[in-house]
Amino acid sequence: MKTATKVMVSTTLALMLTWLSILALTNMFAPAAALKFTANDVTISSDDGQIKSVTISPKGTFSWSGLDEDVQFDGDDQIVYEIYVKLNDGDWGLLYSAVQDKYENIEDKGTTGYDKFVFKNIELKKPNVIAYWQMETDEDGTEKVSKISVKIVATLRTSDVIDGVTKWRDLVSASNTVTFTLTCINEPATADIEGSLNVAAEPTLDT
């Protein structure tokens, strides 16, 4: 148990996945994609080695061209975004997903278009996927470095009605991964004494 007064220093990581561009070609060929994004490393320091919050905020553009059929997003088309996370050399887990089915960024009768997306403050923890305790350190004066990988998958799909049942069909998909490190530092305990010492002396009396 530490004797020093503990002051929690909480750091929220704003992981900006900057300048993300996906170029998807027609489904007549193997999908080609150019996906670029970056992430900054981060260090969290506290007196007890615990993490209060880590969030990521992906943003970018998903674009496609040369489709064999129009996509008009009038209820029959949509884009599915999936964000996966992996800690160190563990398994991938789905952290977040979202569906975009209404927007105006369509060109060339729907065979070419793009979608600009922003997902704000997605917390980097989810049951059975990733937890803060896995990145924390309990021992005084130590640090723990974790490698975190984030993968974004974007899929453009359309729907068909077969025998009265609506079924979704993928037109094109692209993905890529970025990795960053999170360093958690458990600051050593310290103690100090402040004050003053008054010294007084009296001479002996002559006898």
More confidently predicted of 147 and 6: 147
pLDDT digits (tens, 9 = 90+) for 159-172: 888 888 889 999 88
Amino acid sitting at position 64: W
For the ranges 5-9, 27-31, 138-142, 198-202, the one whose mean pLDDT is highest: 138-142
Counting every residue written for the chain, the total comes to: 207
Q: What is the pLDDT of residues 17-71, one digit of tens each?
A: 433 333 333 333 433 434 556 677 788 887 888 888 888 888 878 888 888 888 8
CA distance 20 to 30: 21
Based on C-alpha coordinates, what's the Rg of the chain? 27
pTM here?
A: 0.74
Give 180's Cβ-side CA count (13 Å radius).
21
Backbone angles phi, psi at 124, to 5 degrees: -85, 55
Judge whether residue 113 has pLDDT over 60: yes
SS3 letters across the chain: CCCCCCCCCCCCCEEEECCCEEEECCCCCCCCCCCCCCCCCEEEEECCCCCCCCEEEEEEEEEECCCCCCCCCCCCEEEEEEEEEEECCCCCEEEEEEEECCCCCEEHHHCEEEEEEECCCEECCECCCECHHHHCCCCCCCEEEEEEEEEEEEEEEEEEEECCEEEEEEEEEEEEEEEEEEEEEECCCCCCCCCCCCCCCCCCCCC
